Chains A and B, each alone.
Chain A
Amino acid sequence: MILRVEKLKKTFGGLTAVNDVSFDLMEGELSSIIGPNGAGKTTLFNLLTGHIRPDEGRILFKERDITGFQPDRVCRQGIGRSFQRTNIFPKLTVFENVQVAILSIRRKSRSLFSTASRMLVGETMEILESIGLAEKRNVTAGLLAHGDQRLLEIGITLGTNPELVFLDEPTAGMSPEESWKAVELVQRLARERNLTLLFIEHDMEVVFGISEKVRVMHLGSILAEGTPEAVRADEEVQRIYLAEET
């Protein structure tokens, strides 16, 4: 077991955004949390990554209590995150985008007088090759096509050498074809690097194809948990998604 979430709770004013959420993630597992808008998925992510502090409950990563850690410290434990909006460093080159992440995780960022452009070149190029952006290494990241920017975002996350990665709607804003390419890439990377992945998705179709386990969130709680087939057949889940569509 790599992550254990125990009775997590967060309220904003009178609204309970996340209510008594508990689950475990096994090492190497590919799973997802789905749910309609406003179900509390993003708040749950922000709790898990240290952006907000839970009111109650505990988060254990590899049996270490990381509840209340700041995001930079959470990241250093080996937890990566990709963001819902494209979240890169637009004025840096593709190479530098990934390199700053590796420098940080290797604790080299504080170095004041060594020359960055020659450091960790091999490591950076290896990641760029695995996400297919090696040839665009010198391009300013902000000028990349949207799909490539999303790939780069994954590259930055890989740069932090994570064991567990949270992916917040990784295919948002992609064409169906791009979505499948991105999903295949993530699947391949997870296999190669033995990553544990947790997706958040609004769209059921994308994650059902690859998830081993699906959790459905509704009104701040986890409503159902199981294999994609089981969840798809669950009457209550059907009711929520149907209700949202009408």
Chain B
Amino acid sequence: MMSEFLKEMKSGKWIAVLVCVAAFALLPIVLQEGYLSLVNEMLILAVAACGLNLMMGYAGMVSFGPAGLYAVGAYTTGLILVYTKIPFWLALAAGPIMAGVVSVVVGWFCVRLTHVYFSLLTLAFSQIIHTILFEWYDFTRGDDGIVDIPVPSFLSSITHYYYFSLVAICVCLFVLWKIVNSPFGKTLQALRENPERTEFIGINVRRYQLAVFIISGVFLGIAGALYCGFNKNVFPDFADMMKSTEMIVVCLMGGIYNFLGPVVGSVVYMFLDKLISSNTHYWPLVLGCVIIALLIFMRGGVVGFVSEKLAPRGEERG
């Protein structure tokens, strides 16, 4: 399957991918632990954003509440590790599974609506999840969050966890890449472009929308579970609006019509975040301005912008 994967990409492209992965793998040698954990956080955000973008960029369904499913993943793993003796790996796998199960229920309602109504319903569900995590003190410890989650000793060093999540993230991106290039992925794009027409090539639109909602939810759950193991603490604000906004902005920043757009977006986002918050307390203000600039001047995000500048003009015109 791997050789097939490599054949599909133009040789230049896969060399670039290999170089990137190699560069990330070498980072622990050159970076201090503080920066390394920042990169780790960035990679986990990239998985969440790519999962969201499968639904937003490819299927054209804009969710305002991805953080809800992300938090379900994080809390499931965290709660299992704190309350039970279930091994770490199973707890880690339970996060995305639970996020998938919640996605089935949430998605079942959401795909009945379209456009802004769909988006608002996803927001409502993520607010419900946030409220449950916040208010159910006996179980989720509310505002205090779940702290000191036990992680196997060999994963407690930052470098070791970094390698672990780097592998997990590469696998996730590979699977997502296969999905977007599959018949299912193409059908999602058709659905985004023209749901009415898609129906009349024999596609049950709602069923496909529900499927992508669940798949996207599973990847958000993976990101949540990975972050739980990384951070060893989980808090209700994992599910709040700010976190959802962060994921949406990451997608927009990188470019929603490009597979690696959200990855580039998360690099740019983390960089801006740290750069700006180390100089001023007004990060959200700057973030707001960045969003406005993106939506007005760079609809295709960084990747869209760059590839437009690089592409020879009018070549694709029919």
Contacts and interface: CB of A to CB of B under 8 A. Distances in A.
B179 interface: yes
A150 to B, nearest CB: 13
Contact of B183 (A70, A87, A109): A109
Interface string B177-204: 0110111111101101110111111111
A70 to B, nearest CB: 7
Interface string A71-95: 1110110001101000111111010
Interface in A146-182: 148, 156, 159-160
Nearest to A136: B318
Interface residues of A, number: 47
Interface string A91-115: 1101011011101110011111111
A184 B242 CA distance: 58
B257 interface: yes
B178 A113 contact: yes
Contacts of B185: 116
Contact of B202 (A83, A105, A119): A105
Interface in B196-229: 196-205, 208
Bin the interface of chain B by size: 20 to 34
B94 to A, nearest CB: 22
A159 B187 CA distance: 14
B317 interface: yes
A159 B198 CA distance: 12
B4 interface: yes
A71 B200 contact: yes
B138 interface: no
A89 B187 contact: no
Contacts, number: 119
Contacts of B203: 72, 104, 109
Contacts of A136: 318
Given A75-B201, A87-B194, A88-B194, A116 B186 contact: yes
Contact of A100 (B4, B186, B196, B318): B186
A156 B318 contact: no
A49 interface: yes
A223 B315 CA distance: 52
A105 B181 CA distance: 18
Nearest to A101: B201
A89 B194 contact: yes
Given A103-B186, A112-B184, A140-B316, A160 B202 contact: yes
B273 interface: no
A87 B316 CA distance: 20
Given A70-B204, A104-B203, A148-B318, A113 B179 contact: yes
Contacts of B148: none
A241 B200 CA distance: 32
A246 interface: no
A145 interface: yes
Given A103-B187, A116-B183, A83 B197 contact: yes
Contacts of A80: 200
Given A49-B200, A104-B203, 13 more contacts: A72-B203, A75-B199, A75-B200, A80-B200, A89-B194, A90-B193, A92-B190, A99-B186, A100-B186, A109-B203, A112-B179, A116-B185, A160-B200
Interface of B: 4, 8, 178-179, 181-187, 189-190, 192-194, 196-205, 208, 257, 316-318
23 contacts: A71-B199, A71-B200, A72-B200, A76-B202, A80-B200, A81-B200, A83-B196, A87-B194, A89-B197, A91-B193, A96-B186, A100-B183, A100-B201, A104-B187, A109-B203, A112-B178, A112-B179, A115-B4, A115-B178, A115-B182, A139-B316, A139-B318, A140-B316
